[in-house]
Amino acid sequence: MQKEEIYALLDEKKVSYQKVEHKAVFTMTEIDEISLPYPEREAKNLFVCDDKKRNYYLITVKSDKRVDLKNFRKQEGLRPLHLASVLDLEKMLKLTPGSVTPFGLLQDEKHEVKWFLDEDFFDDSSFIGVHPNQNTATVFLKVQDLVMIMEWAGVSYKIVKV
């Protein structure tokens, strides 16, 4: 799905959102250089797999957090984790590096990737900023609306403390 298709889906589901078009970004440092309306609400997404490459996960946290994969896997009762390969990212979520986003889960036709969403997004403002499958834009929407879209698409997820 291209970003225009994500916007169309959000419109179809009557989700209120704000989009910001920007230059392509590949790291959180580059995101920090862009003027975004809610920089503290920007998400960082890690696409990881276990040591046997049997299970894949997308971990979504606030951009200022560091994810200790060793502690996270213990907390969730998972096998040892590491970043998944670029080939697995392209094969499973049809995304490229720098474009990793929960919206990529809509392209996981076999529903093989489990999504972990940091509970800290469910605070007073409850906004989240994610790429619309391309790293040339950021979409801000209510995290509850993002979860609703994922539920509608049959995405498996868990809200966690990271």
Q: Single out the residue of 61, 21, 17, 16 nearest to residue 41, CA to CA.
A: 61
Answer yes or no: are the C-beta atoms of 98 and 130 closer than 8 Å. no
Residue ranges of alpha helices (H) inside 35-142 are 69-76, 86-93
**pLDDT of 93-146, one tens digit each?**
999 999 999 999 999 999 999 999 999 999 877 899 999 999 999 999 999 999
User: Class of the 3-160 domain?
Assistant: alpha beta
The torsion region of residue 126 among left (phi > 0), alpha (psi -120 to 50) and beta comes to left
pLDDT in tens, 68-89: 999 999 999 999 999 999 999 9
* pTM, entire model: 0.94
Rounded Cα–Cα distance for residues 120 and 20 (Å): 23
